[in-house]
Every structure is written in C-alpha cells, then in structure tokens.
Amino acid sequence: MASRHLLSLPHRSLKSLRPFSHHLPRSIHLSTHPNSDSLPSPPPPNYMLYDRLAEQIKSKLARLDHPDQRFLQHNSPVPCRADHASALSFPETKITTLPSGIRVATESNLASPTATVGVWIDAGSRYETDEANGVAHFLEHMIFKGTKSRSVRKLEEEIENMGGHLNAYTTREQTTYFTRVMGKDVAKALQILADVLQNSVFDENQIDHERNVILREMDEVEKSPEEVVFDQLHATAFQHSPLGRPILGPVDNIKKITKGDIQKYISDHYAPHRMVVSASGAVKHEEVVQQVKQLFNKLSSNADTTCQLVAKEPSRFTGSEVRIHDLEDPLIRFAVAVEGASWTDPDSIALMVMQSMLGSWNKNAGGGKHVGSQLVERIAIDEIAESMMAFNTNYKDTGLFGIYAAAEPESCDDLAYSIMHAMTKLCYKVSDDDVIRASNQLKSSLLLHLDGTSGTAEDIGRQLITYGRRIPYAELFARIDAVDSSRVKRVAKRFIEDKDIVIAATGDPQNTILPDYNWFRRRTYWTRY
C-alpha cells in the first residue's frame, strides 16, 4: 500500500525533485574532455549509485588510454627511459664539424680566467718519406719564424704582450701547435695560430739558422740515454717501416731540407679534414666556431686520409735487438717490449691497466718497498736497479708494451729475470686485488693529467684524432672497471705469451751479464705454473 502511494505522487512533486546526480560528491564528477567523442557516453540518470561510480572509474581508465595532449608537455603517464648522456658526459665537450672538414671542439669553464687554444694535426714523422725524414719536426721549428703580415719580432711581441705562451711538439703520428692565454685574448690567439699555419714565409736565412738549432738539439738528445733507447727500440721493432724512422730525422737530411720540402709537406698533410681545433677554459663554443670558419680558409685541399697512408705503408713488427756501446755511461739502460695494441683495439684499456700493475720506480724518489706492484717491491728491496718504468705506446695500427730500466752492470742479470718474470706472470697468475689497485691508480693518473686547461685541450685534440670522439670520463672509467683478472690473463696471453720481443740497450751490454736475446725470448712463457 505504501509503495502504491509513492507511485501516485503528483506530477509536479516529481519535477521538484533534484536529479540524483546532484547528491553525488563533487570529486566524482567528470570534467569535459577534448576527446569526449571517444569516451563512454554519460550514464542515464536513473542509475544506482554504484553503477555511476563504476562508470566514473571506467571513464578515468579511458582517459589514461587517451591522454589530453595539453598535459603531455609537462608529464606523461607513459613511462620511458630517461637519457642520462648529458649527465654522464659532464663536463660537456661540444664538437662542430665545419663544411671544410675541420673539427672544432671545446670544453667551456667560464669560471677559469685562462684558456688553452690549439690545433692538433693528424700528421707526424710517420707520414714522411725516407728522403724527407725530419721535415715534420723542422716545420715545427719554422712555423713561428714569421708570416706575410707578422715578422718574428712582431709575433713574439704579440704573445709577450698578452702574457701568453706559444708552443708546439711533434710525435710520430701527430703535430700540435697551441697557446695558453687569458680568456679575453682567445680571439687573438686563434688569429695568430691561423696566420702561422697558413701564411708562414719560411725565409731561407731562418731555415739555415734553424738547421743549426736542430743539429744542436740532436746532440742534446744523443746525450739523453733514455731518448736513445726508445729511438733505437722503435728502429729495431719497426725496421723498414715508417714508425721506425726517428722524429728528428738523420743528420744528412737536416742539412739538406729546403723550403720546397717544407711547403710540400704542408700541402700534403695540413688538410682541414686532418685538423682539430681544440679549446678549453674561458671559451665559448659558438664564438670559437665562427672565428675558425672565418680564419682557417686557406688550408690544403689534399683529400688523402691517414688511413689511406697507413694502408700504403703499414707498420711491421720484427722481433730483434740492438745494443749500443756507450762506455761513458756507467749504467746499463735497456728496454724490452712486445708488440702492443692500436688506439682503437678493444684490449688497449686492459694493457693500460697492466702497465699500471707493473708500475714505475726511481731510486732517488724513495719508497717502493710497500707498494702494490710486486716488480717494484722486489727491485726496491733487493736494490737491483736505479729506475724502471712500464710503458704502453699506442699507434693507429700497432703499439709497444714493455719495461724500461737502468741498473749497475752487476745487477743486470737479476733485474732482467725480475722483469721477464713479472711480465710473463700476467699470463698465468693475477689477483683481483692487484687489478683493482692498478685500476684505481690508472683512473687517478688520468684525472691528474686533465688538471688544467692545457691537459684538457690536449686530451680533446688527441682523442678526436685517434678515436674520432671524446670519450666521457664515465665511459672510460666503466671500461677500466670492466677489466678483471681473467681479462688481464687473456690479454697477456694474446700479447706476451710466447711472442717475439724487441730489446734495445745502451752502455756496455756486450761485456756484462745482460742476457742475450734467446734468454729473454724463452722467458715469454712458463712450462709450468
């Protein structure tokens, strides 16, 4: 009876009732959506409360499938992997390749008051001919001896007035010209570098003067036994190959190098695609790029690449030895090495760790009896050497890995045994603790080398020439940390175990007990361990 009374309510009282949806909380009301056509239609007004709530939830789920584009620019409901490249590559190295092919790379640090700007060229003594061996180093001396618009005096005064420092060096595969100046003088430094590289006059009188300077420099190098050992080591390791030529060249070549030889070398190798302009410190990348684009416009048009030149004259490693008599030196200085890895070889990082494991030591520096390197510890305790140094030299297609040492003649036998035992042991017995310790030392030395604008600019220029890019610290350290004891043993077996070696020695090695080549060669492997 009661329900029948409810159904017989007057029509006006039904109209006076508010829709049931008005009693719902505001929080569950749907807002107008741009994509409302794709969403479910609103439920009819006579739905029960739980039906309406169910429809509200379905609508919210549909909204996730069809998000409002206005909000996607701020946050996306769809998860995605974040790109941490910018954080991992900090500080950022900006690289721009100009239409001419020259690359401009900078690492800005506007808090630094100084800057280093330089040109790194993928050309060195390796790309000379036998007849012109020494011209790359000769050119390094002549490049600062006056241009069409700057005399030698004016050039030196400009550098001095800026309080700057202008320098250059030549290696077997690279030539570098760089200057350190205050941040406000970066533009002027670039002008000077562009001028000397493109407009040098190479006056005949200056050439004759520098010829005598280089000959005196060669005499000084001959008095440095360590320099002699490494030059002879390359000569015997890469005999009849371009890498075997000395950087300074033979005396006969220095005496007859002409202006034409220098200009030909520039036209053959100083091409923009083989150059990197590197800057670090108080520099702005966009400004440096614009200046390089304007200034470096008269370079060589030779399209030959270093890869093509290396393919024409590849390096050839030859197991051999050379011993030079030097009765004036009371010590025996020698280096023993195996063929190493190229710059881009996957095992080059492991060889860097192995070099750190072998270590270096000098008697005058003190210490050494409580270090991580077992070789250094043994040499220091037994006092069988004056100094020793592990080295790892990389080139485009090969390398040299070994140890240099200097010792009294009566200690050479024990020292040679210790060196070969330590090198060959890397093939068989390596502890994780030694690898971790060496990896930490390697990372520290790499960071210390980058302390300052000059080290950073050099690192940028060298890596762009050798790797084609700047390797971030995070990636480089990850590669170092990936080297473990098993990898060290694998790499040592590849490069050391039963492999040919090269030996270079100075002093009086023939009349001492420095072992012969066959003795060293037999100790590149163990018959039991």
pLDDT for 45 equals 56
Residue closest to 333 by CA, chosen among 403, 273, 278, 280: 403
What crossing angle do the helices spanning 259-269 and 204-222 adopt, rounded to 10°? 80
Q: How confident is the model at residue 23 (pLDDT cuts 50, 70, 90)?
A: very low
Q: How many helices (H) and strands (E) does the chain have?
A: 22, 12
Pairing of strands 332-339, 165-170: unpaired
pLDDT for 60 equals 75
Return d(Cα 357, Cα 438) in angstroms, integer.
Answer: 5
Return d(Cα 280, Cα 460) in angstroms, integer.
Answer: 9
Return d(Cα 58, Cα 50) in angstroms, integer.
Answer: 12
Mean pLDDT score across all residues of the chain: 87
pLDDT for 76 equals 53
pLDDT for 11 equals 44
Which residues make Cβ contacts (< 8 Å) with residue 381, sequence separation at least 6? 369
Domain ranges of the chain: 88-312, 320-523
pLDDT for 71 equals 57
Same CATH topology for 88-312 and 320-523: the answer is yes
pLDDT exceeds cutoff 80 at 105: yes
Quick check: 442 and 97 in contact, CB under 8 A?
no
- Is pLDDT larger for residue 213 or for residue 35? 213
DSSP codes of every residue in 9-20: --HHHHHHSPPG
pLDDT tens by residue, 181-213: 999 999 999 999 999 999 999 999 999 999 999
Whether pTM > 0.85 for this model: the answer is no
pLDDT tens by residue, 324-344: 988 888 999 999 999 999 999
Domain covering 88-312 in this structure, CATH number? 3.30.830.10
pLDDT exceeds cutoff 80 at 3: no
Report the catalytic residues.
140, 210
pLDDT exceeds cutoff 60 at 401: yes
pLDDT exceeds cutoff 90 at 455: yes
pLDDT tens by residue, 413-453: 999 999 999 999 999 999 999 999 999 999 999 999 988 89
pLDDT for 91 equals 81
Quick check: 38 and 68 in contact, CB under 8 A?
no
pLDDT tens by residue, 233-250: 999 999 999 999 999 999
Domain covering 320-523 in this structure, CATH number? 3.30.830.10
pLDDT exceeds cutoff 50 at 488: yes
Return d(Cα 190, Cα 165) in angstroms, integer.
Answer: 13
Exposed, middle or buried, 301 (CB in 10 Å: 0-12/13-18/19+)?
exposed
- The pLDDT of 383-403, averaged and rounded, is 96
pLDDT exceeds cutoff 70 at 27: no
pLDDT tens by residue, 40-96: 555 555 556 667 777 877 877 777 676 666 655 555 555 556 666 666 777 889 999
pLDDT for 6 equals 39
Task: Return the amino acid letter for 276.
Answer: V
Count Cβ neighbours within 10 Å for each residue of 4-21 and write b for 16 or more, e otherwise: eeeeeeeeeeeeeeeeee
The pLDDT > 90 percentage for the chain reads 75
Pairing of strands 103-108, 275-281: parallel
pLDDT for 28 equals 41
